[in-house]
Chain A
Amino acid sequence: MLQKKFKLFFYTALVAPVAFCLALGTASKVEAQKEIRIGFLTPLTGGGAQLGRDSVNGLKMYLDEIGYDMAGLKVKIIVEDTELKPAVAVTKAEKLIRHDKVHMIVGGVMGSTGYALGALANREKKLYIASIPASDDLTQRKLSKWVLRTGWAGSQPGHPFGKWAYEQGYRKVVMIGADYAFGHENIAGFHRGFEDAGGKIIQKIWVPVMTTDFGPYLPLVKKEADAIYALMIAAMPGPFLKQFKASGLKMAILGGGVTADETVLPNMGDEALGVITPLQYSAALDTPKNKAFVKKFRKLHKKVPSYFTESNYTTAKWIHEALKRVKGDISDIHRFSQEFQKIEIDAVRGPVKMDKYLNPVHNIYIRKVERINGELWNTVVATYPNVSQFWTFDPKEFLKNPVYSRNFPPCNYCK
């Protein structure tokens, strides 16, 4: 009797999963008409969860505004959690392609995820729109017709910012930054822009990613510098600025955009005042479009939008514009992509268009942290219009150099 029961148990255990999988497989085969399916990959759990939520909220805010209707197509958005791990992102992308039959993949956060999804896009011949990943080479030496970028390249804001810093009278700058690819690229952009203008980088200090005790590093900073350029990511900016202030160092603080973006500013105090950083977006941008955007987002989500929000909002709008141009016909994804590249979009961050290497050309805002009505904001103090990832360089010449890294450009004035 029990033996029979055991056999029954055993065969159920064997057959049930197979049946389950078959059911799931067939369920997705029903091809809905007049629908555009977009797979959105972003971290919803783990360390990057808030960035993911900001991203999804930006995307969905646009879709809500247009009632999920793009040029007559019903928008079906399928959000998947990457756990901030490239390997998980790729598995989920495979799921989106095979199970959900999406027309394109959008999203990602980390540079490594960008590269991994780019490689997958090439293999699977699917369009991937990188709305956040900023790894330079994705739209430079690893250029692919399957990868469009709507966010930014890590070194892009640094080139004009270096020029600006020199024009403000800074001559000798110390750089301190998170020791990983994005940090290397971001710091290198400023390095090159600043030295091309005539300044000197006299020291580079690399700290491990997620360093929050800067005790070992602050005493190393050369005191003769006029300014320090800090590239701090995620949870690093708050502790860095606090400890920098307590260390007795008096020089001006410049930095990468993420050192003082809207994901960290609301939780900071006076230590952030006066920090100057460049980025393609600031929530304090004084345009009617942005004011309305910030007001609406704050009402919906009780927080200030960050560039994660803006970038994904704009990406959704960009897709919409491109679909209008192909009149809702997505049977030929290349035509869609071609039209996508031609659009000059009137985005929240300002006018945006795409360069020949499929990276956005947009304004770079030099932003200074100020306290307005008790809150910290990135007030725009200067604007460099239409900045491309190649700045004023010739793309072909630029690409002959190796990708920006820890050792490139070489630090000629470091001792």
Chain B
Amino acid sequence: MFSGRPRAVFTVLLVLVVLAAVTPFLPEYVCILLIQALIFGILAMGLDLLLGYTGLPSLGQAAYFGVGAYAVAILTTRYEFGFFPTVVLAILLSAAVAAIFGLIAIRAKGVYFLMLTLALAMVVWGLAWRWTSLTDGDNGITGIPRPELGFDLNSYINLFYFILFVFVLCLGALYVLVNSPFGRTLVGIREREERMQMLGYNVWLHKYLAFIFSGIFAGIAGVLWAYYKNFVTPDDLFIDVSVEALLMVALGGPATLVGATIGAGVIVFLRNYVSIYYSGWPYILGAMYIFTILYLPEGLMGIARRFRRRAETEKLDE
């Protein structure tokens, strides 16, 4: 769907424009949920680069998300850093953590990679929980101010536009990345690693860079999360955040970028609307995992893709 076709790009842009146009007329609570969906969308798209394009199932995205969020919390509340230095430092820190973890994790394959990323993320969670002098432990850090950029980000609609803007930048960057020779090599590695190795590609380096990029996008999502929520707690980087990011990608459709965001949106909206009528969210979440895997192997984007494929063959028949 989103692999270099001008029409696909046009559709996505159209959706974004429509979204930007209608949001001011939506109830404010919906706007808040859209903000969350976009933030988790960035997290999930970053994971999609790793999972969908490179074939590395990371269960540790919460770590970089958390590092980004905590960096913002600590830099703004303790040291009163301004917006730009905070953001740059926070993203650099996420990238640095990803770079260190990547060195360990990339050596492992398949499920070993999965378990290893999980274990490493647990270390970061343990730090957030235990390093009380820095993180205030389980109490979390409250009172993170929204950035002052000349317009009032305390209003949710303005915050929405700001986050939409960052989202579009991330989407654009990822789009360029996956359609670049680098991105095509990643897909090559996913499909046939030995072959790429034989062709002389530095497989390790490609995987490693993908790992770091993925961490950076998780970090960006974490930065936005901290600014949006105004507080962080160790719960923001527990295992279930990583697991849910995986579900977002699978639900939307791996290797589609926008699919991951759609997956994020579906989960955010369901979680918050279902609970109005029914207090058994884990059942629904659990069923979504099972249903997605059994019936939507290509995710929601797969449905659209199936329709289009059939449409195209029909066209050819005529």
B80 at the interface (CB under 8 A from A): no
B138 at the interface (CB under 8 A from A): yes
**Nearest A-chain residue to B225, judged by Cβ:** A87
Instruction: Give every chain B residue within 8 A of A205 (Cβ-Cβ).
Output: none
* Interface hits, A103-131 → B, CB 8 Å: 110-112, 115-116, 118-120, 123
* A135 with B139: CB separation less than 8 A: yes
A28 to B138, CA, bound (A): 35
A180 at the interface (CB under 8 A from B): yes
B181 at the interface (CB under 8 A from A): no
- The proximity string for A residues 1-39 relative to B, scoring 1 for CB distances below 8 Å and 0 otherwise, is 111011001100110011001101110100000000000
- The proximity string for B residues 22-59 relative to A, scoring 1 for CB distances below 8 Å and 0 otherwise, is 10011111101100100000000000000000000000
B148 at the interface (CB under 8 A from A): no
* A25 with B275: CB separation less than 8 A: no
Indicate which residue in B26, B138, B280 contacts A21 across the interface (CB closer than 8 Å).
B26
B284: min CB distance to chain A, Å: 10
B192 at the interface (CB under 8 A from A): no
A405 to B137, CA, bound (A): 11
Indicate which residue in A18, A111, A115 contacts B22 across the interface (CB closer than 8 Å).
A18
A92 at the interface (CB under 8 A from B): yes
A46 at the interface (CB under 8 A from B): yes
Interface majority SS (helix, strand, loop, mixed), chain B: helix
A99 at the interface (CB under 8 A from B): yes
A364 to B22, CA, bound (A): 56
A353 to B98, CA, bound (A): 52
A76 to B271, CA, bound (A): 22
Instruction: Give every chain A residue within 8 A of B160 (Cβ-Cβ).
Output: none
Instruction: Give every chain B residue within 8 A of A405 (Cβ-Cβ).
Output: 132
* B311 with A95: CB separation less than 8 A: no
Q: Choose, from A78-86, A292-300, A313-321, the stretch at the interface.
A: A78-86
Instruction: Give every chain B residue within 8 A of A120 (Cβ-Cβ).
Output: 230
Interface residues on B, range: 35 or more
A88: min CB distance to chain B, Å: 8
* A116 with B279: CB separation less than 8 A: no
* B304 with A21: CB separation less than 8 A: no
* A81 with B314: CB separation less than 8 A: no
A345 at the interface (CB under 8 A from B): no
**Nearest A-chain residue to B26, judged by Cβ:** A21
Q: Choose, from B208-216, B231-239, B287-295, the stretch at the interface.
A: B231-239
A331 to B254, CA, bound (A): 51
Indicate which residue in B30, B140, B307 contacts A25 across the interface (CB closer than 8 Å).
B30
- The proximity string for A residues 120-146 relative to B, scoring 1 for CB distances below 8 Å and 0 otherwise, is 100100000000000100000000000
Interface majority SS (helix, strand, loop, mixed), chain A: helix
**Given known contacts A25-B30, A94-B29, is B311 in contact with A119 (CB within 8 Å)?**
no
A180 to B27, CA, bound (A): 39
* A6 with B308: CB separation less than 8 A: yes
**Given known contacts A24-B27, A86-B235, A98-B27, is B279 in contact with A119 (CB within 8 Å)?**
no
A53 to B11, CA, bound (A): 47
**Nearest A-chain residue to B306, judged by Cβ:** A6
* B18 with A14: CB separation less than 8 A: yes
* B139 with A6: CB separation less than 8 A: no
A295 to B246, CA, bound (A): 48
B271: min CB distance to chain A, Å: 8
B315 at the interface (CB under 8 A from A): yes
A181 at the interface (CB under 8 A from B): yes
- The proximity string for B residues 282-318 relative to A, scoring 1 for CB distances below 8 Å and 0 otherwise, is 1000000000000000000001100110110011000
* A85 with B235: CB separation less than 8 A: yes
**Nearest B-chain residue to A15, judged by Cβ:** B18
A92 to B272, CA, bound (A): 7
A382 to B287, CA, bound (A): 52
* B27 with A21: CB separation less than 8 A: yes
* A80 with B275: CB separation less than 8 A: yes
* A45 with B233: CB separation less than 8 A: no
B273 at the interface (CB under 8 A from A): yes
* A112 with B275: CB separation less than 8 A: no
B280: min CB distance to chain A, Å: 7
Q: In this complex, which of B33, B272, B303 has the most chain A Cβ atoms within 10 angstroms of its Cβ? A: B272
B195 at the interface (CB under 8 A from A): no
A300 to B90, CA, bound (A): 52
Instruction: Give every chain B residue within 8 A of A98 (Cβ-Cβ).
Output: 27-29, 32
* B18 with A3: CB separation less than 8 A: no
Indicate which residue in A21, A24, A92, A118 contacts B275 across the interface (CB closer than 8 Å).
A92
A87 to B271, CA, bound (A): 13
* A46 with B137: CB separation less than 8 A: no
**Given known contacts A25-B30, A95-B272, is B282 in contact with A116 (CB within 8 Å)?**
no
B17: min CB distance to chain A, Å: 12
* B304 with A83: CB separation less than 8 A: no
* B230 with A123: CB separation less than 8 A: yes
A228 at the interface (CB under 8 A from B): no
A92 to B36, CA, bound (A): 13
**Nearest B-chain residue to A9, judged by Cβ:** B307
* A94 with B26: CB separation less than 8 A: no
Instruction: Give every chain B residue within 8 A of A10 (Cβ-Cβ).
Output: 11, 304
Instruction: Give every chain B residue within 8 A of A88 (Cβ-Cβ).
Output: 271
**Given known contacts A98-B28, A99-B29, A181-B139, is B307 in contact with A83 (CB within 8 Å)?**
no
A414 to B263, CA, bound (A): 54
* A3 with B140: CB separation less than 8 A: no
A18 to B22, CA, bound (A): 8
* Interface hits, A53-90 → B, CB 8 Å: 79-81, 83, 85-88, 90
Instruction: Give every chain B residue within 8 A of A171 (Cβ-Cβ).
Output: none
Instruction: Give every chain B residue within 8 A of A18 (Cβ-Cβ).
Output: 22, 26
Instruction: Give every chain B residue within 8 A of A79 (Cβ-Cβ).
Output: 279
7 shortest A-B CB distances, which residue pairs? A25-B27, A3-B311, A98-B29, A6-B307, A2-B311, A21-B30, A119-B142
17 of the cross-chain contacts (CB-CB < 8 Å) are: A3-B315, A10-B11, A24-B27, A24-B30, A28-B27, A44-B279, A45-B280, A81-B281, A85-B233, A86-B235, A98-B27, A98-B32, A119-B143, A119-B230, A180-B137, A180-B138, A406-B132
| B binding-site residues for A, Cβ under 8 Å | 11, 15, 18, 22, 25-30, 32-33, 36, 129-130, 132, 136-140, 142-143, 154, 229-231, 233, 235-236, 269, 271-273, 275, 279-282, 303-304, 307-308, 310-311, 314-315
| A binding-site residues for B, Cβ under 8 Å | 1-3, 5-6, 9-10, 13-14, 17-18, 21-22, 24-26, 28, 44-46, 79-81, 83, 85-88, 90-92, 94-95, 98-99, 110-112, 115-116, 118-120, 123, 135, 179-181, 209, 405-406
